Structure 1
Amino acid sequence: MKSDYLELTDVRVTFDGFVAVDGVTMTVLQGDLRFLIGPNGAGKTTLVDAITGLVPATGSATFGRTELLNRKVHRIARLGVGRTFQTASVFEELTVLQNLDIAAGSGRGPLTMLRKRSSTPPEVEAALEVIGLTDLRDRQAGVLAHGQKQWLEIGMLLVQDSKVLLLDEPVAGMSAEERQQTGELLQRVGENCTVVVVEHDMDFMRSFATSVTVLHAGRVLSEGTVAQVQADPKVQEVYLGRAEVEA
C-alpha cells in the first residue's frame, strides 16, 4: 500500500533540557534499505527509541498513516514496527524453531513448545527460509554463531508480521562472511518491509545501503544515495573524514 511507509516530521527528544534529537524529518519507503549513520551522540539510537516507544518525543512518526510517537511499546509492535538491539535477544536454551514459535504467538503452551510437532506454520517456514536457518531449525539458539543469532532475531520480527524493521548495528562483531550474508538478508527482507539500519560500519553501508541519512548533533546533516552523501562536504568535514570518504 502507498500508505505503508515510515514518515518522520520534526521529531524531537529532550532529556533534562538536553536536545538529543532536534527536529528530524525523513521518509523511508518500502524497498528503500535506509542506513542511519553519524558519530557517537548524534541521536541515532535515541531516534529509534522514540519511534518504538522507549522515550517520549514530540513531532510525528507515522506508519500506514498511524501515529507511533508516545504509544506503549507493545502497541507499537502490534502495529508492525519491530526493532533489534546490538545484542541479540533470543531464548538461548530453546531451538531456532521454538524461538520462532514463541515470537509467532502460535498459542503453544510451555510444555507443548518442547515437543516435536508434526508440521510447522507457514509463516515460520517462510521466515526460516528468508533468514537462512532452515537446516538449523532444531539447533539450540545458544550455540548459534553470533551472526546467526542476529538473523534469528530478525526472523522473530518477521513471524510477528513486522513491516518496519529498525536494526541497531546488526553487523557489530560479525566476520566478513557474516556481514555479507547479513547484507543479502536485509536486501531480501527489504523487498517487503521498510528497513532502517543504524550503523557504524562504513564498508557495510557502502555495499548495501539504498539511501543514507546522516545525523549530527541530533539533526539531519545530509541525505541521499551513498555517492551523494560521501560527496557532501558537510559530511566529509563532520563525520566520515575526507580520506575515508575518498577511499
Structure 2
Amino acid sequence: MSGSLELAGVGVSFDGFVAVDGVTMSVRPGELRFLIGPNGAGKTTLVDAITGLVPATGSVTFGGHELVGRKVHRIARLGVGRTFQTASVFEELSVLQNLDIAAGAGRGPLTMLRRRSAVPAAVAEALEVVGLADLRDRQAGVLAHGQKQWLEIGMLLVQDARVLLLDEPVAGMSAHEREETGQLLRRIGADRTVVVVEHDMDFMRSFATSVTVLHAGKVLSEGTVAQVQADPRVQEVYLGRASEGAR
C-alpha cells in the first residue's frame, strides 16, 4: 500500500549480540501503531535501523524506496522522521525560529541567510497543529517539557515527514500534557504513518489503534489493544509487570 512502512526480516546485531531478530511489520497511514515491550526488547534499536542510525539486514521500504543501506540524511529526505526521548530543539532560539530552520532544511545557504518577510504557510500550519501558535516568539529553552516535544514534532511536520517514529513522546509529562499529546498524534496520524515507542500502558490503551509487542528482538504479538492485552504470552513477559506500575 502506498504510504505504508514495510519491514521484512529486519535484523540488527552488535558484536554477535542479536538486538533485532527478523522483525516483519507493516504500518499503514492513518493508524497509530504503538511499539511496546520490556526494556531491552529492541524497540529503539528497530527505530534506529529504520532511520539508518545502525546497520541492518533485511528490508525496510517506504514509498517504493528501500531504506536499508541508505544514509541517515537520505532517509530523512524520503520523508522519514523521528524524535528522541530527549527533545532536540535549539533552546536559545524561539519556537518560530526552530520551525523556520527545520523548514529550511531544503533551502540553499543564500536563501537561509535572508530574513523572511512572512511566516511560510507550512510553518504557520505546524504552529497551529502542535498548539504553539500563541508561543511562536517564546524561547524554546523555557518551554514546558511537553511543549518541547510538540515543537520537535512540528519540526518534522514542516519537513513534510510522512513517517513519524516517536520514541517515548510522553515520558515525564503531566496527565494533561499526555492527553494533549495523544490528541496531537491523532491529528497528525490521520494521513501519515506514525509509530510510537512507548512504556506508558495507560497512554497506549487510550490512543493506540494497533500494537506490536517486541520481546528479545522478535515480534511476540501484534493486533489491536484488546487482542494484545488478551495474549497470554504478552501477559507473561510484559503486561503483567507493566500493570503493576512499570512505565
**Same fold by TM (over 0.5)?**
yes
* Root mean square deviation of aligned Cα: 1.4
Q: C-alpha separation between the residues in 2 aligned to 1:109 and 1:195?
A: 30
Partner in structure 2 of residue 72 of structure 1: 71
Letter in 1 for 2:53: L
Structure 2: gaps (5+ residues): none
Q: C-alpha separation between the residues in 1 aligned to 2:64 and 2:13?
A: 25
Report deviation, 1:119.
Answer: 1.7
Letter in 2 for 1:221: L
Partner in structure 2 of residue 142 of structure 1: 141
Partner in structure 1 of residue 213 of structure 2: 214
Letter in 2 for 1:229: V
Alignment of 1:48-127 (within 5 A): 48-105=47-104, 108-109=111-112, 112=114, 118-127=117-126
Letter in 2 for 1:57: A
Structure 1: gaps (5+ residues): none
Partner in structure 2 of residue 156 of structure 1: 155
Partner in structure 2 of residue 11 of structure 1: 10
Report deviation, 1:244.
Answer: 2.7
Q: C-alpha separation between the residues in 1 aligned to 2:191 and 2:95?
A: 23
1:55 and 1:70 in contact (8 A); partners too: no
Q: C-alpha separation between the residues in 2 aligned to 1:63 and 1:90?
A: 26
Residue 161 of structure 2 aligns to a residue in which SS?
A: coil
Residue 241 of structure 1 aligns to a residue in which SS?
A: helix
Q: C-alpha separation between the residues in 1 aligned to 2:165 and 2:172?
A: 18
Percent sequence identity over matched residues? 81
The alignment's TM-score, normalised by the length of structure 2, stands at 0.94
Residues 31-86 of structure 1 show CA distances to partners (whole Å, capped at 9, x for unaligned) of 01000000000000000000000000100000011101121000000000000000
Residue correspondences, number: 240
Partner in structure 1 of residue 30 of structure 2: 31
Residue 151 of structure 1 aligns to a residue in which SS?
A: helix
Q: C-alpha separation between the residues in 2 aligned to 1:97 and 1:221?
A: 42
The alignment's TM-score, normalised by the length of structure 1, stands at 0.94
2:201 and 2:242 in contact (8 A); partners too: no
Partner in structure 2 of residue 130 of structure 1: 129
Partner in structure 2 of residue 47 of structure 1: 46
Runs of 4+ in 1 over 6 A off after TM superposition: none
Rate the CA distance shift 1:97–1:242 in 2: closer, same or farther, 3 A.
Answer: closer
Residue 213 of structure 1 aligns to a residue in which SS?
A: strand
